[in-house]
Amino acid sequence: MNWFQTRELSSGVWLVAEPSHVNTWLVAGRERAVLLDTGLGIAPIRPVAEELTELPVSVLNTHAHFDHVGGNHEFEEIAIHELGAPGLQQEVSPALLADYLEYTRGLLAAAHEYRRTDRAFFHLLTPDSNPRPLPEGFDPPSWRIPASRATTTLRDGEKVDLGGRELTVLHTPGHSPDSICLLDERVGLLFAADAISTGPIYAQLPDSDLAAFATSTRRLADLAPDLRSVLVHHFGRVTVEPSFLGAVADAFETVLAGEPPSAAAKDCLGRDAREVRFGGFSILLPA
């Protein structure tokens, strides 16, 4: 299988996924296209995007974390919230990448039994969620995510004009200070980045802010009546109903008001955390 899974979800919107790792989104107007994040950098992503559209493609990062900027160095034009621009200018720590590869090895070791069980009983796996082996020719010890540089910085409320299609920048801190979501108001699509997830939502990071997360997710939930679909950036359910936003906002307010029961957990870098589980997702908190 190819490392990337691609498909067009609606007119001018393509999923470009690294299944079980990260979902990126290619969004095209009449004049140009933007790639919302560039994934892990395990395989080149620019040729994949350019196979899907003949328009010029630039990058719009939802935040500066390693799994969203891995292919930035392949592009000349990069936009990110102004708080995220300094983070792009540093090469990602090789030790962090080694920890993520350890997680990936565990994921791939479990994938065979996962597929067998799914075929026998559940029938839930799709190409969007089926883990792929690391691509041929990929050398784990030499994996690097080099520094990149923002050519444009963004603020809350700005419009990104693609020609006949606009994406509105929503600053949604919580997961990280620079986190943004993108809203296509005309067709009712919300690109929710790491503010919303169908698995663990990471609020345990050193720069995460639980109160800001609660405010941001409530802001997104308030948009639900005008949305057709929410597109997420991690795990196998790549789209969710707008009502899911309210469930996430309620969960953050519950945690903020007085912590409900939690269980010991680890994140994708092997770091200790506590997990509060809700229906269809969970919230990771600091250990």
pLDDT digits (tens, 9 = 90+) for 159-215: 999 999 999 999 999 999 999 999 999 999 999 999 999 999 999 999 999 999 999
Domain around 214 = 5-90+144-286
Quote the pLDDT of residue 182. Answer: 98
Whether the per-residue pLDDT at 261 is higher than 80: the answer is yes
Q: What percent of the chain has pLDDT over 70?
A: 100
252 domain residue, yes or no:
yes
Residue 127, domain member (yes or no) = no
Mean pLDDT of the chain: 97
Q: What is the mean pLDDT of residues 115-140?
A: 96
Q: CATH no. for residue 82?
A: 3.60.15.10
- 210 part of a folded domain: yes
The answer as to whether 56 is a domain residue is yes
User: Rounded mean pLDDT of 16-24?
Assistant: 97
Go through the chain and tell me how many residues it has. 287
DSSP, residue by residue, 230-279:
EE-SSSS--EE-THHHHHHHHHHHHHHHSPPP-EEEE-TTS-EEEEEEET
User: Would 135 be classed as within a structural domain?
Assistant: no
Q: Using alpha carbons, select from 201, 93, 77 the residue that is nearest to residue 144.
A: 93
95 falls within a domain: no
Q: Within 10 A of 114 (CB to CB), how many other CB atoms are there?
A: 18
Residue found under tokens 């983070």: 87
Q: How many domains does the chain have?
A: 1
Q: Is the pLDDT of residue 236 over 90?
A: no
Q: pLDDT for 30-67, tens place per residue?
A: 999 999 999 999 999 999 999 999 999 999 999 999 99
CB 79 within 8 A of CB 150: yes
Alpha helices in 53-93 (DSSP H): 85-88
R_g of the chain, CA atoms, integer Å: 18
DSSP-derived 3-state class of residue 137: coil
Within 8 A by CB and 6+ apart from 270, the residues are 99, 102, 103
In a domain, 247, yes or no: yes
Asked if residue 104 belongs to a domain, the reply is: no
In the sheet where 159-161 sits, what is the strand order? 159-161, 166-171, 180-184, 189-191, 229-231, 239-240
